[in-house]
């Protein structure tokens, strides 16, 4: 009988690491030998023929706007529908309408309705949170702006879900559709909004429609992806059971798949909402009213306090919407199992009716009386203006940080730049392009397999075609450094959060805040601490990417089975050994997923980095938005960013799948 000899995975794995190391060594040699040749640099104000052709296309589009039938009958119709939706919502809650100096529903009415809806679809705790959040908008003196933002976000969400959920269901049912749709979704999520802002205003004019569509483009992909994932995750055995009982495809969809996927679909709605809120400041650049406008105006006079006040309102709105939709998804799941949710169940129906009546009264009051419509600035002699207090607090924290930390942070920036960032960037930008392409393909093949290498090759070819090779390599260097920093911080904090529930409770709201606070708010303090430099861009990117990475790693650590941990402790390992030899290795998949998501989130900050001195592709995109003759270059830079994103995403995902397989063989 022949014995099968399988070489254990542990022995085979060093081959990959050694391979990557060898590629790096050869690359370094090549850099030393051929430094400075064939680097394909392009000056900041120069363009290539690709950019010029794109400019010509944009010009011809602009000239034909009033005659092209496509504009007159297709885009105009879409614009009219969306405009009506947005202006309708605004007339309801935020803008003066119907000859009145105030919207139909004042602060009392809107707060009452929101609380009621939160209570009915969520639970009592979330209803209280909603009431507190909405009242806070008024106290901050930002009621109208918050309602404008809410109107815009809800309109975008409505359209995103109307189109996204059916598409997601379709993608979930048909693998072919899924394969076609995924690159489109990648483009929609990774293409910087700055690139399509100006063309969008050309197609859909300046107004609510353009703002909604800008938000829509970023908010729809999560809804589609997560819905598809939800449909696909319904256990195959359940589906098989229903088909064997004789149900048709429609019955299968409506009676089995959708109900069982309901909780995850609500998670998709939640993520779409977060994505929509993150576009608030970008939409303000094409005139969308709301909190984004306040942030941008504050930035012109470097008013950190005012920007912070508006940013805080956005954070509060995000938290309220997030908790409400999460509670709604939990209620949906429990309702599916015919279970109650708590002590208030018995009196739920009378409470709903009672709450409805109180809400109607509040709506009537806010329609008629000034005190209930326009948030009062003072209650008797007690000033209700929390906004200026918050603004002053923000200003003092920022000034304190600038005066006391500037020396330390400046030195830190210089050290990291010269010892980490500059070497990586020089290696990528000063090597000849053919050497870099060969090296990246080799590393892709070693880490992710030949399919990942093929994707990398295609992406690099497109980058070469855009004519922005040197800038792309500079951005790649900054992305890599930022990702490494993100993961380093995420591992430390994530392990801590995963192991301690108390730490989790304290840190999680801070992470939510960091993720939803518009980055424009902390640009000024960062500029003061780190000067206008690439490092400032990296820090801004790290702040944005760290929360998701921390959450994923904490989730992974918590997912390590307690019995394993107990066994290891019983075998005598101390805390350090427990973390490094048991929990982290077993959470390896989460680590790779955290790297993947961290990288994507870092890439999405490339343009903001360009506003604070990072240069490279981010600056090219900003320049394209600002100058008409650089529009083509800006568009090409956006495409290059998407290509980098796809290349990094596919490679890390393929690496993740490969690290999973050996575990399966045990």
Partner 1 sequence: MTRSIGNPRLPGRRVRVALAAAVALALAGCGGAKVGGTSNGGSNAGASGQCGTVNLAVNPWVGYEADAAVYSYVAQNKLGCTVVKKDLKEQVSWQGFSTGEVDLILENWGHQDLAKKYITDQKVAVDLGQTGNKGIIGWYIPPWLAQAHPDITSWQNLNKYAADFKTSESGGKGQLLDGDPSYVTNDAALVKNLNLDFSVVQGGSETALIQSFRTAEAQKKFFLAYFYEPQWFFNEMKLVRVNLPAYKTGCDADPAKVACDYPPYDLNKVASVKFVDSGSPAAALAKAFNWTNEDQNTVSKYIAVDKMSDDDAAKKWVDANPDKVNAWLAGATASAAPSTS
Taking CB under 8 A as the rule, does residue 202 contact partner 1?
yes
Distance CA 471, CA 152 (A): 35
Distance CA 71, CA 201 (A): 12
| C-alpha 607, offset from chain centre | 14
Taking CB under 8 A as the rule, does residue 187 contact partner 1?
no
CB of residue 619 to partner 1, shortest distance in Å: 5
Taking CB under 8 A as the rule, does residue 406 contact partner 1?
yes
Token readout for 70 is 């496509």
Map residues 596-625 to x or -, x wherever contact with partner 1 holds by CB under 8 A: --------------xxxxxx--xx--xx-x
Task: Give the range of 193-201, 274-282, 507-515, 565-573 binding partner 1 by CB under 8 A.
Answer: 193-201
How deeply is 596 buried, as exposed, middle or buried, from its count of CB atoms within 10 A (0-12, 13-18, 19+)?
buried
> Going by C-beta distance under 8 Å and a sequence separation of 6 or more, which residues neighbour residue 272?
157, 160, 161, 164, 219, 220, 222, 223
> Would you say 274 or 528 has its CB closer to partner 1?
528
Report the first-to-last Cα separation within the chain, whole angstroms. 23
**What letter does residue 3 receive in the DSSP assignment?**
P
Alpha carbon distances (Å) from 385 to 138, 371, 377: 8, 15, 6
> Going by C-beta distance under 8 Å and a sequence separation of 6 or more, which residues neighbour residue 618?
475, 537, 606, 607, 608, 609, 610, 611
CB of residue 340 to partner 1, shortest distance in Å: 11
| C-alpha 596, offset from chain centre | 13
CB of residue 204 to partner 1, shortest distance in Å: 10
The total number of residues written for the chain in this structure: 666
Taking CB under 8 A as the rule, does residue 434 contact partner 1?
no
CB of residue 294 to partner 1, shortest distance in Å: 11
CB of residue 197 to partner 1, shortest distance in Å: 7
Which of the residues 347 through 386 are near partner 1 (CB under 8 A)?
347, 349-351, 353-354, 357-358, 361, 365, 367-374
Token readout for 605 is 């900050």
Taking CB under 8 A as the rule, does residue 293 contact partner 1?
yes
> Going by C-beta distance under 8 Å and a sequence separation of 6 or more, which residues neighbour residue 142?
291, 294, 309, 310, 313, 387
CB of residue 302 to partner 1, shortest distance in Å: 6
> Would you say 494 or 638 has its CB closer to partner 1?
638
CB of residue 448 to partner 1, shortest distance in Å: 33
Taking CB under 8 A as the rule, does residue 38 contact partner 1?
no
Strand partners, 383: 378
Cβ count within 10 A of residue 278: 22
Side-chain-side CA neighbours of residue 490 (13 Å): 34
Taking CB under 8 A as the rule, does residue 92 contact partner 1?
no
Taking CB under 8 A as the rule, does residue 329 contact partner 1?
no
Taking CB under 8 A as the rule, does residue 69 contact partner 1?
no
> Would you say 373 or 579 has its CB closer to partner 1?
373
Which of 19, 207, 449, 457: binder of partner 1 (CB under 8 A)?
207
Q: Could you tell me how many residues of this chain bind partner 1 (CB under 8 A)?
A: 83
Which of the residues 502 through 531 are near partner 1 (CB under 8 A)?
523-524, 527-528, 531
Taking CB under 8 A as the rule, does residue 633 contact partner 1?
no
CB of residue 111 to partner 1, shortest distance in Å: 15
Taking CB under 8 A as the rule, does residue 636 contact partner 1?
no
> Would you say 611 or 656 has its CB closer to partner 1?
611
> Would you say 325 or 429 has its CB closer to partner 1?
429
> Would you say 199 or 457 has its CB closer to partner 1?
199
Which of the residues 448 through 477 are near partner 1 (CB under 8 A)?
none
Taking CB under 8 A as the rule, does residue 14 contact partner 1?
no
> Would you say 182 or 629 has its CB closer to partner 1?
629
Which of 230, 285, 459, 485: binder of partner 1 (CB under 8 A)?
285
Taking CB under 8 A as the rule, does residue 404 contact partner 1?
no
Taking CB under 8 A as the rule, does residue 338 contact partner 1?
no
Of the candidates 318, 353, 346, the residue with the CA atom closest to the CA atom of residue 516: 318
Taking CB under 8 A as the rule, does residue 99 contact partner 1?
yes
CB of residue 374 to partner 1, shortest distance in Å: 8
Contact present, 137 and 196 (Cβ < 8 Å): no
Crossing angle (nearest 10°) for helices 193-204 and 616-626: 20
CB of residue 346 to partner 1, shortest distance in Å: 7
Map residues 543-572 to x or -, x wherever contact with partner 1 holds by CB under 8 A: ------------------------------
Of the candidates 666, 511, 495, the residue with the CA atom closest to the CA atom of residue 581: 495
> Would you say 59 or 504 has its CB closer to partner 1?
59
Taking CB under 8 A as the rule, does residue 51 contact partner 1?
no
Contact present, 435 and 27 (Cβ < 8 Å): yes
Which of 215, 325, 417, 652: binder of partner 1 (CB under 8 A)?
417
Cβ count within 10 A of residue 56: 11
Distance CA 662, CA 427 (A): 33
Distance CA 416, CA 607 (A): 21
Contact present, 156 and 212 (Cβ < 8 Å): yes
Which of 15, 25, 33, 62: binder of partner 1 (CB under 8 A)?
62
């Amino acid at each position: 009988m022949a014995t099968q000899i399988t070489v254990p995975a542990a022995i085979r794995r060093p081959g990959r690491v050694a391979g990557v190391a060898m590629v790096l060594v050869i690359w370094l040699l090549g850099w030393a030998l051929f430094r400075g040749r064939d680097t394909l640099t392009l000056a900041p104000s120069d363009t290539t023929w690709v950019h010029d052709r794109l400019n010509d296309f944009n010009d011809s589009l602009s000239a034909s706007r009033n005659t092209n039938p496509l504009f007159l009958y297709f885009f105009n119709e879409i614009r009219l529908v969306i405009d009506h939706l947005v202006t309708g919502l605004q007339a309801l809650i935020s803008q003066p309408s119907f000859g009145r100096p105030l919207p139909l529903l004042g602060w009392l009415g809107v707060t009452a309705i929101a609380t009621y809806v939160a209570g009915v679809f969520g639970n009592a705790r979330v209803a209280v949170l909603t009431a507190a959040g909405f009242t806070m908008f008024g106290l901050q003196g930002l009621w109208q702006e918050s309602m404008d933002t809410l109107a815009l976000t809800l309109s975008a969400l409505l359209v995103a879900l109307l189109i996204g959920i059916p598409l997601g269901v379709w993608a979930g049912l048909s693998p072919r559709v899924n394969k076609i749709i995924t690159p489109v979704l990648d483009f929609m999520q990774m293409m910087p909004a700055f690139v399509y802002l100006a063309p969008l205003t050309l197609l859909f004019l300046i107004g609510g429609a353009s703002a909604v569509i800008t938000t829509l483009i970023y908010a729809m992909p999560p809804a589609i992806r997560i819905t598809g994932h939800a449909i696909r995750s319904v256990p195959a055995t359940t589906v098989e059971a229903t088909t064997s009982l004789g149900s048709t495809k429609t019955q299968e969809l409506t009676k089995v798949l959708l109900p069982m996927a309901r909780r995850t679909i609500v998670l998709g709605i939640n993520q779409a909402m977060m994505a929509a809120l993150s576009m608030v400041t970008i939409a303000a650049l094409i005139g969308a009213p709301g909190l984004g406008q306040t942030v941008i105006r504050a930035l012109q006079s470097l008013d950190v306090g005012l920007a912070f006040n508006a940013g805080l309102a956005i954070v509060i709105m995000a938290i309220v919407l997030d908790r409400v939709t999460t509670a709604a998804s939990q209620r949906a799941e429990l309702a599916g199992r015919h279970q109650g949710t708590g002590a208030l169940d018995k009196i739920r129906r009378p409470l709903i009716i009672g709450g409805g009546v109180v809400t109607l009264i509040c709506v009537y009051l806010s329609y008629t009386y000034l005190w209930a419509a326009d948030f009062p600035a003072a209650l008797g002699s007690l000033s209700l203006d929390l906004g200026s207090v918050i603004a002053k607090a923000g200003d003092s924290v920022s000034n304190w940080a600038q005066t006391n930390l500037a020396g330390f942070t400046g030195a830190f920036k210089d050290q990291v730049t010269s010892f980490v960032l500059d070497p990586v960037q020089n290696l990528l930008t000063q090597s000849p392009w053919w050497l870099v392409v060969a090296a990246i393909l080799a590393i892709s093949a070693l880490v992710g397999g030949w399919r990942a290498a093929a994707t990398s090759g295609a992406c690099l070819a497109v980058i070469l075609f855009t004519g922005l090779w040197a800038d792309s390599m500079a951005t790649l260097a900054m992305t890599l450094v930022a990702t490494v920093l993100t993961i380093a911080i995420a591992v430390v904090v994530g392990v801590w959060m995963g192991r301690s529930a108390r730490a989790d409770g304290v840190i999680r709201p801070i992470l939510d805040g960091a993720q939803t606070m518009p980055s424009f708010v902390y640009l000024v303090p960062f500029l003061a601490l780190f000067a206008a430099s690439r490092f400032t861009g990296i820090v801004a990117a790290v702040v944005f990417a760290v929360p998701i990475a921390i959450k994923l790693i904490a989730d992974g650590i918590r997912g390590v089975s307690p019995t394993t941990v107990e066994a290891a402790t019983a075998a005598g390992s101390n805390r350090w050994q427990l973390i490094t030899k048991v929990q982290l290795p077993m959470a390896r998949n989460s680590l790779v997923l955290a790297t993947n998501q961290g990288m994507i989130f870092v890439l999405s900050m490339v343009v903001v980095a360009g506003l604070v001195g990072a240069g490279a592709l981010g600056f090219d995109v900003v320049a394209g938005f600002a100058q008409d003759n650089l529009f083509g270059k800006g568009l090409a830079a956006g495409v290059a960013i998407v290509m980098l994103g796809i290349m990094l995403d596919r490679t890390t995902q393929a690496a993740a799948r490969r690290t999973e397989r050996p575990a399966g063989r045990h």
